[in-house]
Structure 1
Amino acid sequence: MKNSRLLTIFLIVFVDLLGFSLILPLLPYYAESFGATAAVVGLLVASYAAAQLAGAPLLGRLSDRIGRRPVLLLSVAGTFLGFLLLGLAAPLGRWIAGFTAPQAVNWIILGVLFLSRILDGLTGGNISVAQAYITDITDEQNRAKGLGMIGAAFGLGFIIGPAAGGALSQWGYNVPAFVAAGVSMLNWLAIFFFLPESLTSEQRAAMALQKRPPFTFNALLQALNRPKVGPLLHVRLFYGMAFATFQTIFSLYAQSIGLSSRSTGFVLAYVGILSVITQAGLIGALTRRFRENWLMINALWLMAFALLAWAFTAQLWMLLIVMLPLALSGGVLNTVLQSSISKSVGRDEVGGILGIASSLEAFTRVIAPSVGGFLLGSLGRWAPGVFAALLMIWSISFAYRRIILPGRKENLAASAASGQ
């Protein structure tokens, strides 16, 4: 039964990310066709991450109270409506063109585009709910492997989606949006018919009785200051900022070393495939053999090395080599950090705390494009990689002081107590 539910969650996350990535590369072109400037396109892209920053922890906490299944249904329905609005923007423009000035038409359409991305962002933080579902149906020994499947589904969606979206765009930029809406509806039906609730009625009742303060900036600060989960969230934030700098600046970097858009797409697909192999095939064996803290600190070192090497790479063959340790360390960190975070709190807090982790990740995607773009434009293509590597060095230092050393002391204390 658990294996069938793991497969269902894998397919749900895959389809969800497939729908998202269908339109992601085409969104700037779609917006520019309605007169959007580069600054407006940047705001449009950032609006999704900003909305997810607010929505992810709320969805996670709500799933702790009423269950994972209803929140997944609600969030996927919001994603469907967001994609539908996105696809209807162009037909809406043609319909209202006879009633108002052309410039006003463009502004109205851009308003619809912003509304669609904000709606999708508010409800699109359901990856944390899917992760919470995995923690409900796995024990601590198998949790990293289960969460690795989520990461693999995430990666597969990003590998297939952009290519499919590009192929569909030949019939119009809004066609991928309608296809993404259809994919989201299929996802909603899969949840409704095939995914049972992971929390028992007794667990939901107990969680509902617990009173917690509303999610605010202070609540986020309190989570970051908690002794066990706080250091893990800090590492998630610093690692997320470093990796988001790589992701958001990579296309500009690739352009600066002379890669075509097609070659850039192939390199990103190559990274995605390596990440999927790591999270679907290797992470289970690694977590069975090594402690999660050991995997975390070594993956941080490997990521720091890979980002520093990326900073000074200017040829395609070198880039392909550098991407190997980067994809491996990224796949390990994504899985091990989420697993460790879920184990550091009680079951009644898992959804909320994973939502906070997703919110921190969304925050990095709001900030990283501006920081990385400034560094690349003002200092050169090496600067974003060096900045990201320095963030990873800080993460290593922080992890040693706040996670690794306290963990060793706890293990020594536990061994001494068991020997008495």
Structure 2
Amino acid sequence: MPADDPDDDAERETTPRRVIATLFFIVFLDLLGFGILIPVIPLYAESFGANEFVGGLLIATYSLFQFVGAPILGRLSDERGRRPVLLISLAGSVIAWTLFGVAGELGPLIGAANGLVVLFLARALAGVMGGNIATANAYIADVTPPEERAKGLGILGAAFGLGFVFGPAIAGVVSSPFALSVFRDVLPAVVPVSEFTIPSFVAATLSAANLVVAFVVLPEPRERVESAASSGRSRLRELLDAVRSPAIGTLIVSFFLASFAFSAFESQFIFLTNDQLGYGTAANAVLLTYIGVVIAIVQGGLIGPLTDRFGEYRLAVGGAAIQAVTLALVPFAVTSTVLPALGPVESGAVALALVSTPLAVGNALTNVSLNALVSRTAGDDEQGGAFGLTQSAGSLARTVGPALAGLLYVAVDYWSPFVAAGVVFVPVVFLLVRLGEARSVPVPE
């Protein structure tokens, strides 16, 4: 029997790492393009005459079509291969973000009253293409053994977080008055230049670069592990079955409620700061970047020591309790005049920054701890399925949350969606305390 070739062993060892690193970069660029448009979408829709409810629907459209598109792309990747599906989805993202940027010019050409219809079409296409995350997760399963799978999925999760941190920051830079004046000087006159269009074109450019990188360096895995998409069961059925499970059901419900509440906050935050502080895309990008940096610091550096000292249950309960209070305080902080202004930063913005800091900390504690608890509850060979359940619950929550929050903003008042989001975290605290007691885990009262 021939001896093993050391070069073959080295290749087998490095290939998964290289593929995971490549997927990390691809997912990061994908989420970077998505993050760039977070501070843009609400005010872009408003420029076409949309109110807060319609703006919330526009935000929710992405998550709805991502929820629908993920299992479709997953099944296609099982049948046709991971690489071609990833390449097609990236090409679709280029088209979607380009359509987003030319919505004002394209709308009248297709017979629409304005570009709002194009915005919805672009968001729907981007959502379907954003379902490629399921394909990326399946790719991880192809190239990693079961005992390393959770680690690989966690690396993709880190790409998510970084995309949400740097995306709004890039939007703030490219939508600044100085940057817009430069773009007007260097771009052809046919290219529309505004604080809404330029971030869209930058997102499209990043997706195009992502497509080139994936085409050049991403191979098709030698073997494919059958994904959950091939089972023929709908994601809603899987979620309902998981909710009925005594082991993981409470955690999935808690994750859904937490995602629902925070997405409601995110969807109306820019409307709030625009109405009360007069903040546009660039100023909102600074605020969102600050919140993202705080979340990244907690998730990347503090969560480990805190978990060692307090445990996941205590951190999840504490994070949910913090968010219940701070979310309800957000609209009143914006209109507060108690704190002094700091130079050009008005009193309301100072108060908002103070409230947003513990809010970001609470969000980081809750999300990481809930994911860790879900992972611990699932078996060693069920990690991918467990993370898929949380992803499905999050997508569904981000579909419903923004729409209902926008309705509250319009039908009640500006403060109502934020107070409601805080109230939603109360049952999360209750559920996690009860679950901790049932498992004999000490949690704070």
Structure 2-normalised TM-score?
A: 0.72
Look up the equivalent residue of 2:437 and give its one-letter code. L
**Whole-Å Cα distance in 2 between the matches of residues 114 and 246 of structure 1?**
21
Query: C-alpha displacement at 1:233, in angstroms?
Result: 1.6
1:266 equivalenced with 2:286 (yes/no): yes
Among 386, 403, 408, the alignment partner of 2:440 is 408
The residue number in structure 2 matching 1:412 is: none
Query: C-alpha displacement at 1:293, in angstroms?
Result: 3.0
The residue number in structure 2 matching 1:157 is: 166
**Whole-Å Cα distance in 1 between the matches of residues 283 and 77 of structure 2?**
41
Judged with a 3 Å threshold, the aligned counterparts in structure 2 of structure 1 residues 378 and 117 are, in CA distance, closer, same or farther, namely closer
The residue number in structure 2 matching 1:16 is: 30
Among 335, 338, 350, the alignment partner of 2:368 is 335
Query: C-alpha displacement at 1:132, in angstroms?
Result: 6.5
Structure with bigger RCO (C-alpha 8 Å, 6+ apart):
1
Segment drifting more, 20-29 vs 237-246: 20-29
Among 108, 127, 130, the alignment partner of 1:121 is 127
8 A Cα contact 1:56 1:126, kept in partner: yes
**Whole-Å Cα distance in 2 between the matches of residues 92 and 312 of structure 1?**
40
The residue number in structure 1 matching 2:259 is: 240
Judged with a 3 Å threshold, the aligned counterparts in structure 2 of structure 1 residues 9 and 211 are, in CA distance, closer, same or farther, namely closer
Query: C-alpha displacement at 1:297, in angstroms?
Result: 2.2
Judged with a 3 Å threshold, the aligned counterparts in structure 2 of structure 1 residues 385 and 28 are, in CA distance, closer, same or farther, namely closer
**Whole-Å Cα distance in 1 between the matches of residues 374 and 22 of structure 2?**
23
Look up the equivalent residue of 2:401 and give its one-letter code. A
Query: C-alpha displacement at 1:124, in angstroms?
Result: 0.7
1:229 equivalenced with 2:238 (yes/no): no
Segment drifting more, 222-231 vs 385-394: 222-231
Look up the equivalent residue of 2:351 and give its one-letter code. M
8 A Cα contact 1:151 1:334, kept in partner: no
**Whole-Å Cα distance in 2 between the matches of residues 368 and 209 of structure 1?**
26
Segment drifting more, 392-401 vs 331-340: 331-340
Query: C-alpha displacement at 1:179, in angstroms?
Result: 3.2
8 A Cα contact 2:257 2:425, kept in partner: yes
Look up the equivalent residue of 2:164 and give its one-letter code. G
**Whole-Å Cα distance in 1 between the matches of residues 50 and 150 of structure 2?**
50
Aligned length: 395
1:54 equivalenced with 2:68 (yes/no): yes
**Whole-Å Cα distance in 1 between the matches of residues 219 and 329 of structure 2?**
46
Query: C-alpha displacement at 1:14, in angstroms?
Result: 2.7
1:179 equivalenced with 2:179 (yes/no): no
**Whole-Å Cα distance in 2 between the matches of residues 312 and 108 of structure 1?**
34
8 A Cα contact 2:42 2:271, kept in partner: no
CA RMSD of aligned residues (A): 4.0
Deviations 1:135-178 (A, max 9, x none): 85775996797466234313223332422452566642545434
Gap regions ≥5 residues in structure 1: 97-103, 410-420
Aligned counterparts, 1:357-368, within 5 A:
357-368=390-401
Judged with a 3 Å threshold, the aligned counterparts in structure 2 of structure 1 residues 224 and 141 are, in CA distance, closer, same or farther, namely closer
The residue number in structure 2 matching 1:106 is: 112
8 A Cα contact 2:97 2:122, kept in partner: yes
Deviations 1:78-122 (A, max 9, x none): 32232244456566569x5xxxxxxx5336966554433212111
Structure 1-normalised TM-score?
A: 0.76
Judged with a 3 Å threshold, the aligned counterparts in structure 2 of structure 1 residues 293 and 9 are, in CA distance, closer, same or farther, namely farther
1:386 equivalenced with 2:419 (yes/no): yes
Gap regions ≥5 residues in structure 2: 1-13, 185-191, 337-347
The residue number in structure 2 matching 1:249 is: 268
Give secondary structure in 2 for the equivalent of 1:105.
coil
Give secondary structure in 2 for the equivalent of 1:408.
coil
Judged with a 3 Å threshold, the aligned counterparts in structure 2 of structure 1 residues 213 and 305 are, in CA distance, closer, same or farther, namely same
8 A Cα contact 1:32 1:41, kept in partner: yes
Give secondary structure in 1 for the equivalent of 2:231.
coil
Query: C-alpha displacement at 1:341, in angstroms?
Result: 3.3
The residue number in structure 2 matching 1:300 is: 320
Deviations 1:170-189 (A, max 9, x none): 64254543432221122133
More helix by share: 1
